Structure 1
Amino acid sequence: MEKKFLQLNDLTSYNSGFSFANKVWDIVIKWDYFARDTIGKQFVNAADSISANIAEGFGRYHKKDKIKFYYYSLGSVKECTDWLNKAKIRNLVSEQLFAELNELMEKLPRDIHQLIKFTDDHLKI
């Protein structure tokens, strides 16, 4: 019987973060130049950072190193909350789009915390 190892694409937190970042990209790319250049770039960078930090942590060897990057990912979720709130107040996203993205962002910390707990419980070093 072949032993199956956990892969990056098996992680719910990674897939959710990756999907969220692509949704943010699809929204921001349609904004005018000023909105893209000010809020948009930073919103996209923060959203991209969610899955990127999970991927980097997943690629690390030591448990503490992995978990450190997963916590960076949580910080990026909070940063996205700020950019989304600014986008809403500045009428760059509709109420419906705000609610949809906000719902995705509310789920991400739970997924990331589950990854942190799993990593802490199952790795020795």
Structure 2
Amino acid sequence: MELGKLEVYRLALKLSGEIWLVYEKLPKQLQFGIGDQSVRSIDSIGANIAEGYGRFHYKDSMKFYYYARGSLWESKHWLYLLANRNLMEKARYEKMMDDINLLGKKLNNFIESIKKKVQNGQ
């Protein structure tokens, strides 16, 4: 399987595209702080999935999938702040939170499937 066919990776890329649209609309003075942090945390989800996928051993891969999950939770924080400070539309916030929650479930399932492979010696 190639990385681009991995559903969790594709979902992470979709979120990266969505946060970029929010970032571009922020006033310049907010792009540096909250904008950069939001983009970096969401981009980090996909980057960690990619890095884990490229590792040779499952156990080595797992730590990057856990990092991706941590970045996912950080991203929820930044999305909440953007919405709470009226820096993104409510409908976009709700859609992105739905997407990030779906990605979280899929990422947890993906991690569990990797754990089972390790336990079964695959």
TM-score range, shorter chain: over 0.9
* Structure-2-length-normalised TM-score: 0.93
Structure 1: which 4+ aligned runs deviate by more than 6 Å? none
Deviation per residue, 1:26-68 (Å, 9 max, x gap): 1111211111111000000001000000000000011111111
Percent identity (aligned): 32
Query: Quick check: 51-60 or 108-117, which moved more?
Result: 108-117
Deviation at 1:122, TM superposition (A): 2.6
Match of 1:68 in 2: 63
Q: Which runs of 5+ in 1 are unaligned?
A: 1-5
Cα distance in 1, alignment partners of residues 12 and 55 from structure 2: 19
The reply to whether residue 50 of structure 1 matches residue 45 of structure 2 is yes
Match of 1:81 in 2: 76
Q: What is the aligned-residue RMSD (CA, Å)?
A: 1.2
Match of 1:115 in 2: 110
Cα distance in 1, alignment partners of residues 113 and 5 from structure 2: 13
Equivalent pairs, count: 120
Cα distance in 1, alignment partners of residues 93 and 112 from structure 2: 29
Deviation at 1:71, TM superposition (A): 0.6
Cα distance in 2, alignment partners of residues 85 and 114 from structure 1: 24
Query: Quick check: 108-117 or 45-54, which moved more?
Result: 108-117
Cα distance in 2, alignment partners of residues 97 and 115 from structure 1: 26
Task: Report the structure, 1 or 2, having the larger helix content.
Answer: 2
